[in-house]
Amino acid sequence: MSARTRKRAGRADLASGTGSGAARDMSSGTGSGELPKLASGTGSGAVRDMSSGTGSGAVRDMSSGTGSGELQELAPGTGSVGAHDLSAGTGAPGDAGLPAVLAQLPDADPGLAGLAPFAARLGYRFTRPALLRAALTTPSWVNEHGAAGWPSNACLEFLGDAVLGLVTADALWRRFPGLAEGTLTRLRASLVSETSLAAAARGIALGEQLFVGRGERSTGVLERDGALADALEAVLAASFLDARAAGRDPLAAARAVFMTLFGARLQALRPDDGVDPKSRLQALMQARHRRTPIYEAVGERPTGADPLWRVRITLTLPDGQVQVLATGEGGSLRLAEHAAAVAALAGLGD
């Protein structure tokens, strides 16, 4: 039996259910996932004119589908995961492209007008400022103001992380079209690291805009890299969702915010950025002198609760002369070596 013959046999005579696995004359499908009463489909795989399906996952009242696999005119589903009318704003998943937790926000909150100056610093004008307000609302604030109607920005961080990864990859590809995948991956990791995101957030004074609980505010949360990075991702997601709900290009909106935050750094980025300073210094010294820099701890080994290590980097040149490249300090030997390597690269103009 040919593949085409088997395909026909599997779909044959749905009214009497003679094909293997065929859906049989279901006018009132009540079982899980049943497809009720398929009528006169003209498109390959089209599903249409399904009525009164009440089972879990039933898809119903689809008419005049003409495209292959096309689903049209979905009426409100009554099954546990039924298809809803996606064009109607009901607060259900898919409402104007928004998840349910963001569909019903306190849009009449008088405090929203005060976010306009901050939104301007982002380089994006929100059609619905309530989405930006949600992005700036921390879980601690929600815990203390549960009746206010604002969700925490945790619901936006997940999407924001994905959007950030996409627009960063696109921007790097445009900036360095000839770089290998591994190098682009390293540069992306450098741009979207927690430290980098927090620095960008501080550049627009994002911490001053966060809605934080009174108890957490006293702990200095507004200066923590993690809190600032999370909020920045949430803001990026808010711009994406706001544009999509308004019928605009969501990625273009997210890209505009990204370039406002990271455009200058992106232009200054070099292919070797993101490489550990010690590795960069060693590669540079090997290329120039075929010598490896030496890291030496200076002074006695520090003790106490707050130790301060000092490290000196030296390089023995081919003629035997020892050159001090830089010194550095840090709370651990590793941090001191890192600081010394950064100082040496700066001194070498690299």
Q: Which residues are catalytically annotated?
A: 161, 233
Give ∠ CA 298-274-183 in degrees, rounded to 5. Answer: 140
In the three-class reduction of DSSP (H, G, I as helix; E, B as strand; rest coil), residue 295 is classed as: strand
65, two tokens: 């589908």
Q: Taking the mean position of all CA atoms in its chain, how far away is CA 318?
A: 50
Question: Residue by residue, what is the 3-state secondary structure of 312-325?
Answer: EEEEECCCCCEEEE
Q: Which amino acid is at 95?
A: D
Distance between the two ends of the chain, CA-based, in angstroms? Answer: 70
Residue count (the chain): 350
Collapse the DSSP code of 86 into the 3-class scheme (helix H, G, I; strand E, B; otherwise coil) and give the result. coil
DSSP assignment, residue 92? Answer: S
The answer to whether 37 touches 58, Cβ cutoff 8 Å, is no
- Please list the residues that pair with 296 across neighbouring strands: 312
Q: Across the strands, what pairs with 295?
A: 313
CA–CA separation, 281 vs 350, rounded Å?
Answer: 9
Query: Which residues, listed in sequence order, are joined to residue 157 by a DSSP beta bridge?
Result: none
> By C-alpha distance, which of 180, 186, 195 is closest to 168?
186
Per DSSP, what are the bridge partners of residue 330?
A: 309
Q: How far apart are CA 246 and CA 45, in angstroms?
A: 33
Q: In what order do the strands lie in the sheet with 294-297?
A: 294-297, 309-316, 322-330
